[in-house]
């Protein structure tokens, strides 16, 4: 299991740690990222996942790595999936070729 606490959505990090402290409006931030206001709004309100395309845009705008933004999304995605019980049987012993 990834962890007990739900990971923070990358859109929330973008909103709380970048957009708000810089005093940007959603419209202005969207323009700077080259996306629509609707697209950015869905992300920062945690209604949409961060795509690789958006990770590159956010990484360039914040001078951070796109991988760090994608890692946040991957952690959240895995945590959400692991909350659902699944019946899975192991493959047994694997024999090396």
Residue 18 DSSP code = I
Q: Report yes or no on 94 lying in a domain.
A: no
* pLDDT per residue as tens, the chain (97 positions): 556 899 999 999 999 999 999 999 999 999 999 999 999 999 999 999 999 999 999 999 999 999 999 999 999 999 999 999 889 888 888 777 7
Give how many domains the chain has, as a whole number.
Answer: 1
Question: Where in the sequence is the domain holding 19, given as residue range(s)?
Answer: 10-79
CA angle 42, 45, 48 (to 5 degrees): 40
CATH code, domain with 20: 1.10.260.40
Q: Is 91 a domain residue? A: no
Tokens matching residue 86:
């699944």
Q: Is the pTM of this model over 0.85?
A: yes
35 in any annotated domain: yes
34: phi > 0 → left, psi -120 to 50 → alpha, else beta; which? left
């Amino acid at each position: 299991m990834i962890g007990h606490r739900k990971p923070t959505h990358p859109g929330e990090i973008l909103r709380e740690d970048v957009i708000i402290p810089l005093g940007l409006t959603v419209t202005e931030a969207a323009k700077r990222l080259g996306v629509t206001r609707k697209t950015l709004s869905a992300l920062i309100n945690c209604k949409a996942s961060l795509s690789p395309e958006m990770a590159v845009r956010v990484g360039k705008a914040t001078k951070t790595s796109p991988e760090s933004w994608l890692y946040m999304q991957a952690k959240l995605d895995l945590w959400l999936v692991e909350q659902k019980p699944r019946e899975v049987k192991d493959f047994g012993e694997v024999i090396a070729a």
